[in-house]
């Protein structure tokens, strides 16, 4: 079953190369995972059209989500000097304002945790984080298997095996966007302000296979459409929002679209989000799936490892089109 949620459509602020002039957008696809026979095809359609969708009846415990969010809020509510002593991001740990090492900034503070260890400031927080990541990884595998079924490719776990692998490179991120009353005061950095829009997290695509996110009831998340507009995604505390990431675009040879997105800071509400980034083992070779390729179809991308692509992300800015660096010259990026 699929439904379309209402959205706020906004004029484009940042121009990025588009692939088509799709102008018939009516809402975010909402997909019911309790009806897998319907969901598998609807997921494929959403990935092809927008690279983004929302899932309901996902099976993740609401109590677990609530407890983890409460722990995150308690952490972010600590005194600043206490948080600063926790663990500077290198790249994992606690950070604020700066995103990465290449000059990107945002109206944000965050905890970035790795796949094999989720240390926080308390044992309860760490335990909840570990339990939550296991649950959301399971959800990611379910979604990837439905994708494979919808694409009619075998084996069923051709995508999900990369998340279930014991060497899978998982990253978990907790973001806090404090209220921003004056969008022009963003760290005194004009690059963060687009007119009267205060950027919490600048526009980008996620480099992994799939990203699974939820937030509290504060708005601010936006996706970029191919017709050149930003769309505000209504918050939903009970559902999960799924991003197609760069590796999935490569593995489907461009059939799926890695969604460009950003977060705009709210003037009055504090926004807390949790994002699971599902990546394959570091040495996994990434290229279009042979079982998906039509006779005579050429690969749009040179083969690379996840380690090579991940290393590239540390050397680029958020808004950079990293995939263009691996795109075959005979097929320029559009």
First to last CA, the chain: 32
Report angle CA 36, 37, 43 to the nearest 5 degrees.
Answer: 70
As to burial, measured by CB atoms within 10 angstroms (0-12 exposed, 13-18 middle, 19+ buried), residue 164 is middle
Element (H, E) at 312: helix 306-313
Q: Report the C-alpha gap between 20 and 253 in whole angstroms.
A: 16
As to burial, measured by CB atoms within 10 angstroms (0-12 exposed, 13-18 middle, 19+ buried), residue 71 is buried
3-state secondary structure string across 69-99 = HHHHHHHHCCCHHHHHCCCCCCCCEEEEEEE
Q: Report the C-alpha gap between 221 and 51 in whole angstroms.
A: 15
If phi > 0 it is left, if psi is from -120 to 50 it is alpha, else beta; for residue 234 that is beta
Q: Which residues are catalytic?
A: 271
């Amino acid at each position: 079953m699929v439904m379309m949620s209402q959205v706020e459509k906004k004029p484009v602020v940042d121009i990025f190369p588009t692939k088509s002039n799709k102008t018939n957008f009516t809402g975010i696809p909402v997909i019911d995972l309790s009806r897998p026979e319907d969901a598998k095809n609807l997921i494929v359609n959403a990935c092809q059209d927008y690279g983004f969708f929302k899932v309901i009846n996902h099976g993740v415990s609401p109590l677990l989500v609530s407890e983890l969010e409460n722990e995150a809020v308690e952490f972010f509510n600590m005194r600043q000097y206490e948080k600063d002593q926790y663990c500077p991001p290198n790249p994992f740990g606690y950070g604020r304002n700066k995103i990465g090492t290449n000059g990107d900034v945002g109206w944000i503070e965050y905890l970035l945790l790795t796949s094999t260890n989720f240390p926080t400031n308390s044992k309860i927080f760490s335990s909840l984080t570990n339990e939550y990541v296991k649950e959301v990884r399971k959800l990611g595998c379910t979604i990837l298997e439905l994708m494979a079924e919808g694409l009619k490719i075998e084996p069923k776990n051709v995508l999900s095996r990369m998340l279930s692998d014991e060497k899978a490179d998982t990253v978990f991120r907790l973001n806090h966007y404090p209220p921003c009353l004056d969008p022009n005061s963003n760290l005194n950095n004009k690059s963060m302000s687009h007119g009267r829009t205060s950027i919490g997290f600048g526009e980008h695509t996620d480099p992994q296979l799939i990203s699974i996110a939820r937030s509290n009831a504060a708005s601010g998340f936006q996706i970029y459409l191919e017709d050149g507009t930003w769309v505000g995604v209504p918050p939903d505390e009970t559902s999960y929002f799924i991003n197609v990431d760069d590796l999935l675009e490569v593995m489907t040879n461009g059939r799926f679209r890695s969604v460009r997105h950003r977060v705009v800071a709210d003037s009055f509400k504090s926004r807390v989000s949790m994002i699971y980034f599902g990546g394959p083992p570091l040495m996994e070779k990434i290229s279009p799936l042979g079982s998906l390729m039509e006779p005579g179809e050429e690969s749009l991308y040179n083969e690379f490892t996840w380690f090579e692509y991940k290393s590239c992300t540390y050397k680029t800015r958020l808004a950079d089109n990293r995939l263009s660096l691996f795109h075959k010259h005979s097929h320029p990026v559009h």
